Amino acid sequence: MDRGRQERPRLLQSPVQLAAFGFGSGLSPWAPGTVGTVLAAVFYWFILSPLPLWAYSAVVLAASLGGIWLCGVASRQLGVHDHPGIVWDEFAGLWVALWAVPASPLWLAIAFIVFRFLDITKPWPVSALDNNVGGGVGIMVDDLVAGAMTCVTLHLAIAALNGAEALA
Protein backbone atom coordinates (compact mmCIF):
# COMPACT_ATOMS: atom_id res chain seq x y z
CA MET A 1 0.00 0.00 0.00
CA ASP A 2 1.35 3.45 -0.86
CA ARG A 3 2.15 6.04 1.83
CA GLY A 4 -0.86 8.25 0.93
CA ARG A 5 -3.31 5.41 1.55
CA GLN A 6 -1.65 4.59 4.89
CA GLU A 7 -1.67 8.26 5.97
CA ARG A 8 -5.37 8.95 5.27
CA PRO A 9 -6.85 6.60 7.88
CA ARG A 10 -4.36 7.86 10.50
CA LEU A 11 -5.26 11.47 9.79
CA LEU A 12 -8.98 10.80 10.01
CA GLN A 13 -8.63 8.93 13.31
CA SER A 14 -7.04 11.87 15.13
CA PRO A 15 -9.63 14.47 16.20
CA VAL A 16 -7.07 17.26 15.75
CA GLN A 17 -6.08 16.09 12.28
CA LEU A 18 -9.72 15.44 11.34
CA ALA A 19 -10.67 19.05 12.14
CA ALA A 20 -7.46 20.58 10.75
CA PHE A 21 -7.96 18.65 7.50
CA GLY A 22 -11.47 20.05 7.20
CA PHE A 23 -13.23 16.79 8.08
CA GLY A 24 -11.41 15.08 5.21
CA SER A 25 -11.80 17.82 2.58
CA GLY A 26 -8.09 18.65 2.87
CA LEU A 27 -7.27 15.14 1.65
CA SER A 28 -8.47 16.05 -1.83
CA PRO A 29 -5.75 15.23 -4.38
CA TRP A 30 -6.55 18.45 -6.27
CA ALA A 31 -6.92 21.95 -4.82
CA PRO A 32 -7.42 20.94 -1.16
CA GLY A 33 -7.76 24.60 -0.11
CA THR A 34 -10.58 25.14 -2.58
CA VAL A 35 -12.29 21.88 -1.62
CA GLY A 36 -11.98 22.87 2.05
CA THR A 37 -13.50 26.26 1.26
CA VAL A 38 -16.42 24.53 -0.48
CA LEU A 39 -17.12 22.51 2.67
CA ALA A 40 -16.77 25.68 4.77
CA ALA A 41 -19.39 27.30 2.51
CA VAL A 42 -21.73 24.35 3.07
CA PHE A 43 -21.26 24.64 6.85
CA TYR A 44 -21.89 28.38 6.57
CA TRP A 45 -25.08 27.97 4.56
CA PHE A 46 -26.68 25.27 6.71
CA ILE A 47 -25.31 25.96 10.19
CA LEU A 48 -23.88 29.47 10.54
CA SER A 49 -25.98 31.75 8.34
CA PRO A 50 -29.18 31.26 10.39
CA LEU A 51 -27.41 32.43 13.57
CA PRO A 52 -27.91 35.93 14.95
CA LEU A 53 -24.87 38.16 14.31
CA TRP A 54 -23.64 37.99 17.92
CA ALA A 55 -23.64 34.16 17.84
CA TYR A 56 -22.08 34.08 14.37
CA SER A 57 -19.37 36.45 15.60
CA ALA A 58 -18.69 34.22 18.63
CA VAL A 59 -18.41 31.11 16.46
CA VAL A 60 -16.03 32.84 14.02
CA LEU A 61 -13.90 34.16 16.89
CA ALA A 62 -13.76 30.68 18.47
CA ALA A 63 -12.96 29.06 15.09
CA SER A 64 -10.19 31.59 14.51
CA LEU A 65 -8.57 31.47 17.95
CA GLY A 66 -9.09 27.73 18.26
CA GLY A 67 -7.70 27.33 14.76
CA ILE A 68 -4.39 28.81 15.87
CA TRP A 69 -4.02 25.99 18.40
CA LEU A 70 -5.53 23.35 16.09
CA CYS A 71 -3.35 24.16 13.08
CA GLY A 72 -0.26 24.50 15.24
CA VAL A 73 -0.75 21.07 16.82
CA ALA A 74 -1.63 19.43 13.50
CA SER A 75 1.42 20.97 11.85
CA ARG A 76 3.73 19.81 14.64
CA GLN A 77 2.26 16.28 14.55
CA LEU A 78 2.87 16.10 10.80
CA GLY A 79 6.30 17.71 11.04
CA VAL A 80 5.36 20.07 8.19
CA HIS A 81 4.59 23.77 8.53
CA ASP A 82 1.31 24.60 6.77
CA HIS A 83 0.75 21.23 5.12
CA PRO A 84 -1.50 21.78 2.05
CA GLY A 85 -4.11 19.47 3.55
CA ILE A 86 -4.57 21.65 6.63
CA VAL A 87 -7.62 23.64 5.57
CA TRP A 88 -9.13 24.82 8.85
CA ASP A 89 -7.63 28.22 8.03
CA GLU A 90 -9.79 28.32 4.88
CA PHE A 91 -12.87 27.52 6.98
CA ALA A 92 -12.21 30.40 9.38
CA GLY A 93 -11.12 32.75 6.60
CA LEU A 94 -14.31 32.25 4.60
CA TRP A 95 -16.43 32.69 7.72
CA VAL A 96 -14.62 35.99 8.45
CA ALA A 97 -15.30 37.02 4.84
CA LEU A 98 -19.03 36.44 5.31
CA TRP A 99 -19.37 38.42 8.56
CA ALA A 100 -22.58 40.51 8.45
CA VAL A 101 -23.02 39.82 4.73
CA PRO A 102 -26.58 39.00 3.61
CA ALA A 103 -27.05 35.23 3.50
CA SER A 104 -27.82 34.62 -0.16
CA PRO A 105 -26.40 32.27 -2.78
CA LEU A 106 -25.12 35.27 -4.76
CA TRP A 107 -23.18 36.85 -1.87
CA LEU A 108 -21.86 33.43 -0.81
CA ALA A 109 -20.59 32.80 -4.36
CA ILE A 110 -18.99 36.26 -4.56
CA ALA A 111 -17.37 35.79 -1.14
CA PHE A 112 -16.06 32.37 -2.19
CA ILE A 113 -14.52 33.73 -5.41
CA VAL A 114 -12.97 36.85 -3.84
CA PHE A 115 -11.65 34.94 -0.82
CA ARG A 116 -10.08 32.17 -2.94
CA PHE A 117 -8.55 34.79 -5.28
CA LEU A 118 -6.95 36.63 -2.34
CA ASP A 119 -5.88 33.40 -0.62
CA ILE A 120 -4.26 32.03 -3.77
CA THR A 121 -2.65 35.24 -5.12
CA LYS A 122 -1.67 36.49 -1.64
CA PRO A 123 -1.46 40.24 -2.25
CA TRP A 124 0.22 42.40 0.40
CA PRO A 125 -0.29 42.18 3.42
CA VAL A 126 -1.42 38.56 3.05
CA SER A 127 1.91 37.59 1.44
CA ALA A 128 3.96 39.35 4.12
CA LEU A 129 2.10 37.52 6.87
CA ASP A 130 2.30 34.19 5.04
CA ASN A 131 6.08 34.56 4.59
CA ASN A 132 7.00 35.97 8.01
CA VAL A 133 4.79 34.41 10.68
CA GLY A 134 5.24 30.83 11.83
CA GLY A 135 3.37 28.23 13.83
CA GLY A 136 -0.38 28.07 14.20
CA VAL A 137 -0.62 31.86 14.03
CA GLY A 138 1.24 31.82 10.71
CA ILE A 139 -1.04 29.15 9.26
CA MET A 140 -4.17 31.07 10.27
CA VAL A 141 -3.29 34.76 9.94
CA ASP A 142 -2.94 35.03 6.17
CA ASP A 143 -6.35 33.43 5.64
CA LEU A 144 -7.95 35.56 8.34
CA VAL A 145 -6.56 38.72 6.71
CA ALA A 146 -7.68 37.51 3.26
CA GLY A 147 -11.10 36.91 4.83
CA ALA A 148 -11.13 40.40 6.36
CA MET A 149 -10.13 41.93 3.01
CA THR A 150 -12.93 39.98 1.35
CA CYS A 151 -15.39 41.13 4.01
CA VAL A 152 -14.47 44.79 3.48
CA THR A 153 -14.76 44.33 -0.31
CA LEU A 154 -18.22 42.79 0.05
CA HIS A 155 -19.46 45.49 2.41
CA LEU A 156 -18.20 48.21 0.04
CA ALA A 157 -20.04 46.49 -2.82
CA ILE A 158 -23.21 46.23 -0.73
CA ALA A 159 -22.97 49.93 0.20
CA ALA A 160 -22.39 50.89 -3.44
CA LEU A 161 -25.39 48.85 -4.56
CA ASN A 162 -27.56 50.32 -1.81
CA GLY A 163 -26.41 53.83 -2.77
CA ALA A 164 -27.18 53.20 -6.43
CA GLU A 165 -30.60 51.84 -5.45
CA ALA A 166 -31.32 54.94 -3.40
CA LEU A 167 -30.44 57.17 -6.38
CA ALA A 168 -32.75 55.27 -8.74
∠49-71-78 over CA atoms, to 5°? 140
Question: If you ran DSSP here, which 8-state letter would residue 46 be given?
Answer: I
Residue 54: pLDDT band (50, 70, 90) is very high
Q: How confident is the model at residue 164, as a pLDDT?
A: 81
What domain range includes position 125?
Answer: 3-167
DSSP structure class, residue 26: G
Residue 6 in this model has a pLDDT that exceeds 50: no
**Residue in 165, 51, 50, 44 with CA at minimum distance from that of residue 111:** 44
Render pLDDT for 84-125 as a digit per residue (tens, 0 to 9): 999 999 999 999 999 999 999 999 999 999 999 999 999 999
DSSP calls for 134-154: -HHHHHHHHHHHHHHHHHHHH
Percent above pLDDT 90 for the chain: 86
CB contact at 8 A, 25 and 87:
yes
Asked if residues 57 and 121 have their Cβ atoms less than 8 Å apart, the reply is no
Domain count of the chain?
A: 1
